[in-house]
Structure 1
Amino acid sequence: MSIFKDILNKLLGRAKPAATTSGTPTGTPAPAGSAPTPSGASPASAGGTAPAGSAGQATAKPAPLSGVDVESIMDNLVKESGQTLNWRTSIVDTMKALGIDSSLEHRKELARELHYSGDMNDSAAMNIWLHKRLMQELAANGGKLPADLS
């Protein structure tokens, strides 16, 4: 798994259930457009094929972090860590708060994933770029961040 996807998964794992429980409760009728299976018929024999348009639904998915309050999650992770971490300015601290290996090797891998074109041997410049780019990517994926970070 990529480091960026690991970051997304860590944030999603900490998201408040209210942000993800907008589906229908158990026992609620199926949404309009989904045909019930006739009595005695198996789902495969009831319709024969998938409804038209179901293949296009993959492209209509909401952003992975849609509505996730990244700022709140990160602040809570820092508190729970018991460390003095500044996730708002440091890629190393951001990764540490998320429980992700923040070694130079892993930061270089994340830089490759996010298409860093600078000198990877200049770790200070790379770290600044990485933090800014990560915040932009989180916002682009639907995460809620303060305006000064996205």
Structure 2
Amino acid sequence: MSLFNSIVDKIVHYASNLVSGAKADPASAKPEPGETSTASSGAVSGTGSSLQSVDIGATLSRLAEQHGQGLNWQSSIVDLLKLLGLDSSLQARQTLANELNVHAGEAGSAEQNIALHQAVVQKLAAHGGKWPG
């Protein structure tokens, strides 16, 4: 599964937990290494219908409150990935950058991280998600 699909899966998972009243837990949505999540497989189709009614800003804000750390997920790709319980290492960000065709700045630079965050936001919006601002 692609890293972007993992981002979408996590957001959809947390949004559905918030609707059902369950506490969002990054570990609960994390498949074991080598596994794929059966609940989320195919969550992002060509149309991305799974994000159509998701208020990403509200979902991530509630998750950040539960997380308890001062993560700047609104503008930091590293903090966004951490909030979702995903790998935020340089290698993971390089993989995501290649996946989204983001080639700004040097690997791991602020310029690349900003461009990568913007690309993720744009792609989430293109899949129907509502991003704050």
TM-score (norm 1): 0.65
| Aligned match for 2:70, one of 67, 71, 84 | 84
> What does the per-residue CA deviation read over 1:91-142, in whole Å, with 9 as the maximum and x for residues that have no partner?
1111111000101110010000000123442521110001111111111101
Give structure 1 regions of 4+ aligned residues with deviation exceeding 3 angstroms.
16-19
Question: Separation in 1 of the partners of 2:18 and 2:74?
Answer: 25
Unaligned runs of 5+ in 1: 20-57
Residue 94 (structure 1) aligned with residue 76 (structure 2): no
Q: Choose 1 or 2 for highest CA Rg.
A: 1
- Match for residue 75 of structure 1? 61
Q: Do the aligned partners of 1:108 and 1:120 also contact (CA within 8 Å) in 2? A: no
Q: How many residues align?
A: 108
Computed over aligned residues only, the root mean square deviation of the Cα atoms, in angstroms, reads 2.2
Q: CA deviation at 1:18?
A: 9.7
Q: Return closer, same or farther for 1:82/1:116 CA change in 2, 3 Å cut-off.
A: same
Question: Separation in 2 of the partners of 1:97 and 1:103?
Answer: 13
- Match for residue 33 of structure 1? none
Q: How does 1:6-85 map to 2 (within 5 A)?
A: 6-16=6-16, 63-85=49-71
Q: Return closer, same or farther for 1:17/1:96 CA change in 2, 3 Å cut-off.
A: closer
